[in-house]
Structure 1
Amino acid sequence: MNTTKKEGFDLAMMKGLKKWRLYSLLAVLTIFLSGCGEEYLSTLTPAGQVGKEQFNLLLLSTGIMAIVIVVVLIIYVLAIVKFRRSKVGENVIPKQVEGSMTLEIIWTVIPILLLIVLAIPTVAYTYKHADVSGMTAVDAEGNKEAVTVNVTAKLYWWEFEYPDLGIVTSQELVVPTNEKVYFNLKAADVKHSFWIPTAGGKMDTNVENVNQFYLTFDKESAGLKDGVFYGKCAELCGPSHALMDFKVKTIDRKDFDVWAETMKTTEHVAQGELATSGEEIFTTSCIACHATSGAGTAGGVGPNLATFGDRNRVAGFMDLTEENVKNWINDPESHKPGNLMPQPEEINNGEKFSEEQLDALAEYLMGLSVEK
């Protein structure tokens, strides 16, 4: 008897543990899903015309799928309830409807109609969002009306060139609100994919050809967490694919024009003895790969650092602090495996940078700003 009770107790305990495992899983899933609605990152909170139209298409397709699931579930339940053996008996065979012309027409026509309902807006939006004819529009004085950005994806960072403005930046895209912004997308090494979840669907960046599309942004990003929207690489491109983020700062057109002019005219001058020392180290070790002027063209080996002090992240994913700047410079490979930034020994006569050198470099880099 005692053995039987013990076995029953153990069985009850096992069932209880399984329930708690399920509850724990649901709790973890709830925490995970709580991050899916963030305004700066989620496709469920569209921040522009393209994103809203794609979101509406998502709602339409979800609604159609939900209707199909509900109808099938109702038929399934009715069949189980109506023809259960306890109700109709053991030897009853329901009426056979195999080969029914009526049923064949119903389950052929209805899916076709549902596909048509889904296909019409899908095709319409596809052609609408692919229309980049406005990219070449000019005003009465012959100046381009729209902002065009040449996006180049690299392992593992993003370069943004504004060809009509003569400026280049990296890791942080700055765009005006309430107008179409056109993009020419390409990759410098392997295939990547340009994606700003709140603004619209992703577009591949290829080595062999240029893809084009446009996005719009309805609101300024200043009120968001970190003051920016988040952009991602949506194509598995290597060991640090998940760390290939960029930020999008949206401002009104007047502020954008001021920013663009500042980018073209700002000349960085080191302030203070420590920053001056950092500039000297930078000039001898880093300048071959990194530009510090926003004016120019794309094609740098490393990211343009003209706005480094204005960013909120180091290498796209670490908080912008002097400590993180030093950690990144001292060992980039451990933080972002597979990236092309050389280790300190390769650019500093075979030695690691000293703590004093790292302090000086961090001070200089944090001072590279066009907004402060």
Structure 2
Amino acid sequence: MTIAIAIAVAGCAPVAALANDWGMGDSNSRIPPSSVFDSVSTPAHEINTLAFFVVSITTVIFLIVAGLLTYSIVRFRARPGDDGREPPQVYGSNPIEFAWTTVPVIIVLVLILITARTIYTVQAPARPPGALSVHVIAHQWWWEFRYPGLGIVTANELHVPLSDLQSPTPTFLDLESADVAHSFWVPRLAGKTDVIPNKKNSMWIDPHVAGTYLGQCGEYCGTEHAMMLLRVIVEPRADFDRWVAAEQQPPALDASVGHGRRVFESTACVNCHTIRGTAADGRFGPDLTHLMTRETIGAGVAMNTRDHLKVWVSDPRVMKPGALMPAMNLGDKDLDDLVAYLATLR
């Protein structure tokens, strides 16, 4: 156990240092910790309730067994003057045999029933009319979010409407992988759900509190697994509708960054990325149509500022070792103009 904890701490240290290097430390400090014990969505609450119930039952069993064991050690310990004979033995006690058979059976049945109820609640709800559906595609090492009914494609930051307890408006997520096995996990909203190649898994959330919730891939998926982060932004319905309206519009054209757009369209960028209104229609990398509306870049590796964007475009591996995006190797002017163009994508 000590070795496992040491390895975990050692593994987290470089990630924390990297996050602080690129301005993520201050940003994440303003977001409540991603504690599994502070649920704000029905699936997470149901899982927490089951976990606490099981822990409570097992704690009571442990205390009873430990108490009986302690009593036996004290009561029947060897004393000075004992003749070494065993105390009187009890054989074939029907009450004792009935108790140690019936009580465990009842406990197991209760655990089975409450576990089945929790699984049904979390995994088998019907999709009510008006529920938001999002298609989530996991890539090495970033998240793609597609809103089929709204015509929106974005990356790494999932926007969903606040769900009213009196009139729930859940969000259903259909999960698929473009490459290897991943796992979608936002601790305060729901449990982990595996994202498997050539298979669609589903989950749902109904956040009751507005805010930003941190999550990440929960299944080791390669070099940058630790930095395959995501954010779920929960907004009141009016704010969510405004975000939808803005995302559905193409980015405004800015003649002052025409050279930067031409640089973008003349490089390999167009093979991997999409920007509506341009020749870029790649699917391998994130959709950049509204790049600057996102808080982070590189799946949460850095804050989305112009300076960080310049470093990322120049050579992503400076920020995220192992990133599959190649270094662009642009000259200073082309790089500056390209970043200036990307900075207009709102």
2:301 paired with 1:311 = no
Partners of 1:158 and 1:148 in 2: how far apart?
A: 16
Per-residue displacement from partner, 1:163-206 (whole Å, max 9, x unpaired)? 11111111110000112101111111111111111101111112
**Aligned 8 A contact 1:173 1:247 in 2:** yes
Is the partner of 2:214 in helix, strand or coil? strand
2:345 paired with 1:365 = no
The aligned counterpart of 2:230 is 246
**Aligned 8 A contact 1:132 1:212 in 2:** no
Is the partner of 1:85 in helix, strand or coil? coil
Is the partner of 1:329 in helix, strand or coil? helix
AA aligned to 2:330 is F
Change (3 A) 1:249 1:94: same
- Which structure features the higher share of helix residues? 1
Taking the TM superposition and a 5 Å limit, the aligned residue runs for 1:123-162 are: 123-134=116-127, 137=129, 145-162=130-147
AA aligned to 1:181 is T
2:196 paired with 1:209 = no
Off by >6 Å, runs of 4+ in structure 1: none
The aligned counterpart of 1:278 is 260
Q: Matched residue pairs, number?
A: 311
Per-residue displacement from partner, 1:320-343 (whole Å, max 9, x unpaired)? 233322222222235434433123
Pairwise CA distance, 1:101: 4.1
The aligned counterpart of 1:339 is 323
Q: Matched residues, percent identical? A: 31
Is the partner of 2:32 in helix, strand or coil? coil
The aligned counterpart of 2:97 is 104
Partners of 1:173 and 1:90 in 2: how far apart?
A: 75
**Aligned 8 A contact 2:271 2:282 in 1:** no
The aligned counterpart of 1:163 is 148
**Aligned 8 A contact 1:183 1:213 in 2:** yes
Change (3 A) 1:85 1:330: same
Partners of 1:129 and 1:220 in 2: how far apart?
A: 21
2:48 paired with 1:55 = yes
AA aligned to 1:151 is V
AA aligned to 1:288 is N
Is the partner of 2:317 in helix, strand or coil? helix
**Aligned 8 A contact 1:53 1:125 in 2:** yes
2:185 paired with 1:195 = yes
2:44 paired with 1:44 = no
Is the partner of 1:86 in helix, strand or coil? coil
Per-residue displacement from partner, 1:233-264 (whole Å, max 9, x unpaired)? 11111111111111111111222122112211
Taking the TM superposition and a 5 Å limit, the aligned residue runs for 1:247-266 are: 247-266=231-250
Per-residue displacement from partner, 1:17-42 (whole Å, max 9, x unpaired)? xxxxxxxx9xx9xxx9xx9xx73511
Pairwise CA distance, 1:55: 1.1
AA aligned to 1:281 is V
Per-residue displacement from partner, 1:82-127 (whole Å, max 9, x unpaired)? 1222367361423334654443332232222222222212111212
Is the partner of 1:105 in helix, strand or coil? helix
For the aligned residues, what is the CA RMSD? 2.7
**Aligned 8 A contact 1:325 1:362 in 2:** yes
Is the partner of 1:197 in helix, strand or coil? coil
AA aligned to 2:194 is D
Partners of 2:202 and 2:185 in 1: how far apart?
A: 13
| Gaps in structure 1 of 5+ consecutive residues | 1-24, 138-144, 222-227, 345-351
Change (3 A) 1:299 1:130: farther
Pairwise CA distance, 1:132: 4.6
AA aligned to 2:291 is F
2:214 paired with 1:230 = yes
**Aligned 8 A contact 1:159 1:168 in 2:** yes
The aligned counterpart of 2:271 is 288
Is the partner of 2:79 in helix, strand or coil? helix
Q: More deviation in 146-155 or 70-79?
A: 70-79
**Aligned 8 A contact 1:267 1:293 in 2:** yes
AA aligned to 1:250 is V
**Aligned 8 A contact 2:251 2:290 in 1:** no
AA aligned to 2:101 is T
| Gaps in structure 2 of 5+ consecutive residues | 1-5, 14-27, 164-168
Change (3 A) 1:336 1:73: same
Which of 261, 269, 274 is 2:253 aligned to? Answer: 269
The aligned counterpart of 1:224 is none
Q: Give the greater-gyration-radius structure (CA).
A: 1
TM score, norm. by length of structure 2: 0.81
AA aligned to 1:177 is L
**Aligned 8 A contact 1:240 1:339 in 2:** yes
